[in-house]
């Protein structure tokens, strides 16, 4: 089965170790929930995979393409990044219409106008914002803006979708829509998804497999039911139960 594989990864900032992963493999077409305390290295992991942050050492095999993350050139990084999409916790909207926000990545890829129009319309329908297509993005509510950010990601048909606490500031209605879209594109397109979340019930609902990151290391990795029902480490057991961990 095709995999994304990280090896000998080490990230440090000003000599402080942030993330160390000897080996990590993700199978194609699964949803991975990444949980752990704040400051444990979860978001750093996503940024490294998305080639937004260079580690001191580490290699990534991106489904057959081996890259040295520490010495990766901008041109090669861009070619791999265009196979991914990233949704951050706080949506950033361009000062244009909703349509133009969602279409921007497709225009950079030089798709024709008809294809762009069709794909943007489909993406906005998926996130239940088809009626806002001509609205200025700056006038949207926070939840609507985050759904536009999701549409902007999924319109690219990414091989890998990276989500960093995407629903942390959303109300239950927007969370429900967001999760439905994630499930839908996973089922229909087989998109591989990594989602960082502090919402443990969300990880249970969405993920096929979960990873527990603590103090910059992957402490535990298992299928979701085993992860929550039979934690192997005391740290994960404490984290799941809501006890403070150090």
Asked if residue 228 is part of any domain, the answer here is yes
- Tell whether pTM > 0.75: yes
Q: Looking at residue 10, what is its pLDDT?
A: 97
Domains in the chain, number: 1
| Domain assignment of residue 117, given as a range | 3-241
| Mean pLDDT of all residues in 26-34 | 96
Asked if residue 246 is part of any domain, the answer here is no
Q: What average pLDDT is seen over the chain? A: 94
Answer whether residue 245 shows pLDDT above 70: no
pLDDT tens digit sequence for 87-103? 999 989 999 999 999 99
Tokens of 12: 């440090």
Tokens of 104: 């921007």
Percentage of the chain surpassing pLDDT 70?
A: 98
For 19-73, the three-class secondary structure string (H helix, E strand, C coil) is: EEEEEEEEECCCEEEEECCCCCCHHHHHHHHCCCCCCCEEEEEECCEEEECCCCC
Asked if residue 141 is part of any domain, the answer here is yes
Asked if residue 207 is part of any domain, the answer here is yes
pLDDT tens digit sequence for 166-183? 999 899 999 999 999 999
Answer whether residue 26 shows pLDDT above 60: yes
Asked if residue 180 is part of any domain, the answer here is yes
Answer whether residue 1 shows pLDDT above 60: no
Specify the CATH number for the domain of residue 17. 3.40.50.300
pLDDT tens digit sequence for 112-134? 999 999 999 999 999 999 999 99
């Amino acid at each position: 089965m095709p995999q994304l594989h990280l090896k000998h990864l080490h990230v440090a900032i000003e000599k402080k170790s942030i993330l160390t992963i000897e080996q990590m493999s993700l199978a194609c077409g699964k949803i991975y929930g990444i949980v752990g305390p704040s400051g444990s290295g979860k978001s750093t992991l996503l940024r490294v995979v998305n080639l937004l942050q260079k580690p001191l050492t580490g290699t990534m095999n991106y489904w057959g393409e081996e890259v040295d993350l520490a010495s990766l050139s901008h041109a090669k990084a861009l070619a791999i990044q265009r196979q991914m999409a990233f949704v951050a916790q706080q949506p950033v909207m361009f000062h244009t219409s909703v349509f133009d926000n969602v279409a921007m990545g497709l225009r950079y890829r030089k798709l024709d106008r008809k294809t762009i129009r069709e794909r943007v319309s489909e993406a906005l329908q998926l996130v239940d914002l088809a009626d806002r297509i001509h609205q200025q993005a700056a006038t949207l509510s926070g939840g609507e803006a985050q759904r536009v950010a999701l549409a902007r990601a999924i319109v690219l048909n990414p091989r890998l979708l990276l989500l960093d606490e995407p629903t942390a500031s959303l109300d239950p209605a927007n969370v429900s829509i967001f999760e439905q879209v994630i499930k839908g594109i996973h089922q229909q397109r087989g998109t591989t998804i990594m989602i960082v979340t502090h919402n443990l019930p969300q990880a249970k609902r969405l993920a096929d497999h979960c990873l527990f990151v603590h103090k910059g290391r992957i402490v535990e990795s298992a299928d979701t039911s085993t992860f929550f029902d039979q934690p192997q480490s005391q740290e994960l057991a404490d984290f799941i139960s809501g006890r403070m961990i150090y």
